[in-house]
Amino acid sequence: MAHTIPDSMISSVHPDLRERIREISDLDPSAQPSTPEELPNAFAAAWNRHDANSLAALFVEDADFINVVGLWWEDQDSIRSAHDYGFRKIFADSHMTVDHVKVRPLSEESAVIVWEWSLTGQQSPEGSPAARRRGLFTFVVLQQEGRWRTVTAQNTDRVTGAETNINREGEVQPKTYQQPFRMPPN
């Protein structure tokens, strides 16, 4: 099943990977990422098509995925189902951009990828548009049969100005412990 990705979506990825994103825009397993560096943009391309099947195909069968609020999906089918739900209920008009990618090879067949993302178009439960979000993904990836697939993914939202979270009576809130900088009086 082939999908057409609008150039407006592809233009947000690194120029060296744009043609490869076009190549992997269908569900054909032979078109999966051939280098670890391609995985973040392949994930974003599947996200931007709102295609849970293509997104899940980037993971091994027994993959782990931990989302921004700590929900943990422990296999490819759960990852597919969770993203299908999200694309229908939360992220139907969303667009993800890959902002920065760092790959740390562990061996010839494995690597850790840390990548920054930004997201627009999320809807609140009431249906109003939400502001842009930014975050970090960490992927542990493995090469199998010439394709790179994700074994474990951890997604984290960035909260501007916060250093950690604190739990107050069951409500987790971002907090900072640093004192604001104040100019000394003249």
Going residue by residue through the chain, which has 186 residues, state the pLDDT in tens, using 9 for 90 and above: 334 444 554 555 556 655 555 444 444 433 589 999 999 999 999 999 999 999 999 999 999 999 999 999 999 999 999 999 999 999 999 999 999 999 999 999 999 999 999 999 999 999 899 999 999 999 999 999 889 999 999 999 999 888 888 899 889 888 888 876 666 777
DSSP strand pairing (164-168 vs 59-66):
unpaired
**How far is residue 111's CA from residue 144's CA, in Å, rounded to a whole number?**
12
One-letter amino acid for residue 123 of the chain: Q
Sheet holding 133-144, edge to edge: 72-73, 59-66, 147-157, 133-144, 110-120, 95-107
Domains of the chain: 7-175 (3.10.450.50)
Q: Which two tokens stand for residue 129?
A: 């548009």
| pTM for the predicted model, two decimal places | 0.79
**H-helix or E-strand containing 40?**
helix 39-49
